[in-house]
Amino acid sequence: MIENRKDEHIKIAASNDVEEGNSLFDEVQLVHNALPEIDFDDVNPSVSIFGKRLSFPFIIGALTGGTETAERINGTLARAAEEFGIGMYVGSQRVAIVRPETARSFRVVKDNAPSALKIANLGAPQVSRLSERELIDWVNEAVDMINADALAIHLNPAQEVFQPEGEPWFRGVLSKLRLIRRITNRPLIVKEVGNGISMEVAKMLAEVPVDAIDVAGSGGTSFIVIESIRRRDTGESGVFRNWGIPTLLSICETSSVYDGLVFASGGVRNGLDGAKAIAVGADAFSMSRPMLLSALKGYDTVKDTISRIMWEFKVAMFLTGSRTINDLKKAPIVASLPVLLWLIQRGVKCKLTMTMYDTWRPIASILLSKLMSND
Ligand SMILES: Cc1cc2nc3c(=O)[nH]c(=O)nc-3n(C[C@H](O)[C@H](O)[C@H](O)COP(=O)(O)O)c2cc1C
């Protein structure tokens, strides 16, 4: 049953070390500004996303729904989203569409967060098998269930292939995304679930077109690990535990070829990671497992967690002299060699490589003209 799987995901993610790889946020450094020329109180981290004002660019990640435990978690997180003025995804709503008696576990989100930015969620493999008529029904039901401001479709080929009852069906997903684009007036987000989006995929999504890409890169929760625990795998998934594009690199790849909004997630673990994500090209950031762990401890812990993330984010803004999010996007940031090597090999033209290209381009053209003139 789908509901059992939802509870198993929660239980396994909460009681095991299911985080793998490295999001690579430690491999970049924001440059300290000793003369910010603003007071700490001048820092204004608020942003507008899909017409909703957020107190800072943070969205509670997609987690769950479909069971009593999930209902408690969703209710707790939604209350916090409303109180803090931040965004919130819900987990995949397929369970509530095929078993309507479980829909209340999602509806608590609209009841507890009437004015927050709310994001509905469906899975690409399931959507790929629906007829046009069914797809219209699913999309409308998912959006109406939580009065969503946007709809996310998650891409999870790695999860499906390791899931015991997985559905690794990805043929025809692009055409279904184009159809969804036509049938809903809500902004369309495409997200991964912890293995990242490459620039090739970002280009395909740009053509759909989608309104936002949430990279959900590797370095945080790994569904390859979670599903391997569920299938009592004794080792065959081991070589793939690290599979995926580290989140920092996925942000650079995606934002280098895509003009829509980029959300950073996957192993984002504090407000400083979030500030780095924005400085390299993201528009907002999101965390899932940390919010799950907090929600299981109760509302006060969720509030403490969000307050801490917000404080860290504001401190990073202040210490880079960033009064607004636009200032933070321009803040200087420096990357280590492994990050640069990936970006150069992949030909990624982003903020981290621009100065390098700008430095080398004139030198290369001088060398080239010298070579030509020797002929
Ligand atoms: C228990 C659990 C359930 C999840 N369920 C969903 C889901 O239903 N839909 C979805 O898009 N992502 C789901 N995710 C993936 C997260 O949204 C996120 O992409 C991933 O966990 C990486 O972020 P993190 O490192 O901050 O946890 C789930 C994550 C966890 C931990």
Query: Where would I find the beta strands (DSSP E) of 116-275?
Result: 117-123, 150-154, 188-191, 212-214, 261-264
Share of the chain above pLDDT 90, in %: 90
The 10s digit of each residue's pLDDT in 90-131 is 999 999 999 999 999 999 999 999 999 999 999 999 999 999
**Which residue lies with its CA nearest to atom 15 of ligand 1?**
193
Q: Which of 8, 126, 193, 250 to mutate to test the pocket of ligand 1 (most atoms within 8 A of CB)?
A: 193
Which ligand 1 atom is at minimum distance from the Cα of 219? 25
CB contact at 8 A, 10 and 289: no
Mean pLDDT on 228-236: 79
Lowest mean pLDDT among 135-144, 236-245, 271-280, 317-326: 236-245
Q: Is residue 63 over pLDDT 90?
A: yes
What is the Å distance from ligand 1's center to 331 Cα?
Answer: 30
What is the Å distance from ligand 1's center to 5 Cα?
Answer: 13
What is the Å distance from ligand 1's center to 49 Cα?
Answer: 21
**Which residue lies with its CA nearest to atom 10 of ligand 1?**
62
Find all residues with CB under 8 Å of 142, minimum gap 6, and list them.
93, 97, 120, 121, 122, 148, 151
Q: Say if strands 28-30 and 333-335 run parallel, antiparallel, or are unpaired.
A: antiparallel
Q: Is residue 346 over pLDDT 80?
A: yes
* pLDDT category of residue 357 using cuts at 50, 70 and 90: confident
pLDDT of residue 367: 75
Buried b vs exposed e over 115-127: b needs ≥16 C-beta within 10 Å?
ebbbbbbbbbbbb
pLDDT of residue 369: 81
pLDDT of residue 375: 59
Q: Is residue 315 over pLDDT 70?
A: yes
The 10s digit of each residue's pLDDT in 240-288 is 988 999 999 999 999 999 999 999 999 999 999 999 999 999 999 999 9
pLDDT of residue 231: 87
The 10s digit of each residue's pLDDT in 182-202 is 999 999 999 999 999 999 999
* pLDDT category of residue 234 using cuts at 50, 70 and 90: low
Alpha-carbon distance 353 to 7, whole Å?
Answer: 43
Which H or E element spans position 352?
helix 351-374
Instruction: Determine how many CB atoms are found less than 10 A away from the CB of residue 94.
Output: 19
Lowest mean pLDDT among 57-61, 255-259, 284-288, 357-361: 357-361
pLDDT of residue 365: 75
Alpha-carbon distance 279 to 330, whole Å?
Answer: 6
What is the Å distance from ligand 1's center to 249 Cα?
Answer: 19
Domains of the chain: 2-335 (3.20.20.70)
* pLDDT category of residue 374 using cuts at 50, 70 and 90: low
pLDDT of residue 235: 65
* pLDDT category of residue 174 using cuts at 50, 70 and 90: very high
Q: Is residue 296 over pLDDT 90?
A: yes
CA-nearest of 131, 117, 119 to 188 is 119
